[in-house]
Structure 1
Amino acid sequence: MAGRENQEGSREVFEKSNGFLTRWRVAGPFRMEGKDGTAVFDIEFDPEKAGTQVEWKRVSLEAESNAAPWKLADGVMEVRGGNIATRRQFQDYSLHLEFRLPFMPTARGQARANSGVYLHDQYEIQILDSYGLEGLDNECGGIYQIARPRINMCAPPLQWQTYDIEFSAARFDSEGKKVRNAILTCRHNGVTIHDKLEIPRPTGGALRSDEKEPGGIYLQDHGNPMQFRNIWIVEKPQDASR
């Protein structure tokens, strides 16, 4: 957010554009320090061969013959072939992840650094090189056919970016009737792009349609060499209603 008065917990961010220096005062938090929750990526792995000692597994939406394992080096994992999801299932949580878009100057639209993070195996927050674009529901930070980000906070390629997400799963009564949609808040590079947004249904590419049970965190392979690092979760207490 921008304004004349500094707010508690804010810091100033400078951006040079068209010969002018623009000053923004952006309210944090910008980065969650430490790792007080469950780390879901901190050892080398091949999701097809490493067994249950790692937190990730390969998931397939279609037949994948000879799919290459994801690459992990120097604390960074790179999309190589196939989608992966956490072995553990979660209900309500805070999720932090960092991603870096590859530089793909000849690609356009959805072919330009495309990936996504699925919450609950079902609700995708898009990852895409959308720097300088309008900020639509199919661009970075958007939720397909449901919501566009309040503001396009996508940085240029080759810079590390952050998603900080607060997620609460849908709730159902004792007869299995949905009484509340899933809800999420998402900060992209420290700025809120979705605030307590209700998600009425799974998005395209979901691993399943049933919203009742806990779900994993699912990272999408879309054929581009995306990179991820510092992914962790803090689970929240669940209330009685599901």
Structure 2
Amino acid sequence: MGDQLMDHAMKIAPLLIAAGVLAAAPAFAQANTDPARDPAKTEVWTPVPATVATPPGKAPSDAIVLFDGKDASAWESEQGGRVPWTVADGALTIVPGSKGIRTKQRFCDIQLHVEWRSPVETKGFDGQNRGNSGIFLQELYELQVLDSYNNPTYANGQAGSIYKQAMPLVNASRAPGQWQAYDILWKAPRFSPGGGLISPARITVLHNGVLVQDDTVLAGRTEYIGPPSYSPHACAPIHLQEHDAKVSYRNIWVREL
């Protein structure tokens, strides 16, 4: 008797499964035809993002190359006229005692890539006197360049700091004589027609691929003495500071945002 029941159960089991599938089919069909569940409703096809080529070791195809190792024609002295620094071996190197340089073109919101190298010789130099330079966004806001490898100084004045405003999240410095890189996202401040501040400047910085400034809000222009503050201005050049050290730069490019 037990064997007969088992045989009967095995015969009807497939029928019960098939019946269940048939019963559920209308529900699946309804789900697939329900307009509210159409996946195409959340697909965006236009506008199509522009294509940007990113060849290894080179600037993106839509970037403005500011220095390629050979040509400094995108720059001028901070006082106007010929760049007073040397161009050799693929690098643009500061001549101590000369002036800083600035781009001939003016910029507001940008993505900026800069590679820099502090001098190998460190004997007799420490703190702010070791490999000091700076990258000024819109000529007013300084991202510090400094040899901060085993070189104590005030935290908001070391490499990767927004000078005298924001210390870096970490010290990602390499040894002197090694090339380092900053990748910068800069959002310019906005001012009203009457000169009031609508929104402050903001900056994000990767130092050698490490996040050191995370959407940092600036309190105003860089000041050596006293607190920072804003005054209205337009787009302005990128400025590289001369600070009595043979700091070198290479592979500089910018994308306007």
The answer to whether the superposition gives a TM-score over 0.5 is yes
Looking at secondary structure, tell me which structure has more strand per residue: 1
- Relative to total residues, which structure has the larger helix share, 1 or 2? 2
Structure 2 residues without counterparts, runs of 5 or longer? 1-55, 225-229
1:145 aligns to 2:164 (yes or no): yes
> Conserved in 2, the CA contact under 8 Å of 1:32 and 1:96?
no
Does residue 38 (structure 1) correspond to residue 64 (structure 2)? The answer is yes
Q: For each residue in 1:32-86, what CA deviation from the matched residue of structure 2 results, as whole angstroms up to 9, or x when unmatched?
A: 75343101123445xxxxxxxx2101014xxxxxx99211013211001210000
TM-score, normalising length from structure 2?
0.69
Supply the distance in 1 between the matched residues of 2:103 and 2:83 (Cα, whole angstroms). 18
Gaps of 5+ in 1: 1-30, 46-53, 61-66, 237-242
Residue of structure 2 equivalent to 1:86: 103
Change (3 A) 1:117 1:32: farther
CA RMSD of aligned residues (A): 2.2
Supply the AA of the counterpart residue of 1:82. K
C-alpha distance in 2, partners of 1:166/1:200? 17
Q: Residue 57 of structure 1 corresponds to which residue in structure 2?
A: 76
Shift in Å, 1:211: 4.0
CA distance in 1, matches of 2:144, 2:188: 19
- Please state how far the C-alpha of 1:175 moved relative to its aligned partner: 2.8
Call closer, same or farther: CA 1:230–1:214 in 2, change over 3 Å: same
The separation in 2 between residues aligned to 1:212 and 1:198, in whole angstroms, is 17
Equivalence map 1:1-12=2 (5 Å):
none
Query: Is the counterpart of residue 111 in structure 1 residue 135 in structure 2?
Result: no
What pairs with 1:1-242 in structure 2 (closer than 5 Å)?
33-36=58-61, 37-42=63-68, 43-45=70-72, 54-60=73-79, 69-80=84-95, 81-103=98-120, 104-133=122-151, 136-204=155-223, 210-236=231-257
> Which of structures 1 and 2 has the bigger CA Rg?
2
Percent pairwise identity: 34
Is the contact made by 1:90 and 1:214 (CA closer than 8 Å) also made in structure 2? yes
- Residue 172 of structure 2 aligns to a residue whose secondary structure is coil
CA deviations on 1:128-147 (whole Å, 9 max, x unpaired) are 11113567111111122210
User: Distance between the aligned counterparts of 2:57 and 2:217, measured in 1?
Assistant: 24
| 2:169 counterpart SS class | coil
Matched AA of 1:159: Q
Q: 1:172 deviation in Å?
A: 1.7
Q: What letter matches 2:240 in structure 1? A: L
- 1:137 alignment partner, SS class: helix
1:86-121 CA-partner distances (Å, limit 9, x unpaired): 010001010000001102222111111111110110
Equivalent position SS for 2:128: helix
Q: Deviations over 1:13-36 (max 9, x none)?
A: xxxxxxxxxxxxxxxxxx975343
Aligned partner of 2:27 in structure 1 is none
Distance in 1 between residues matched to 2:209 and 2:127, nearest whole Å: 25
CA separation of 1:32 and 1:192: change in aligned 2, threshold 3 A: farther
The number of equivalent residue pairs is 190
Take 2:138 and 2:93, find their aligned partners in 1: how far apart are those partners?
22
Q: What is the CA-CA distance between 1:204 and the residue it aligns to?
A: 2.7
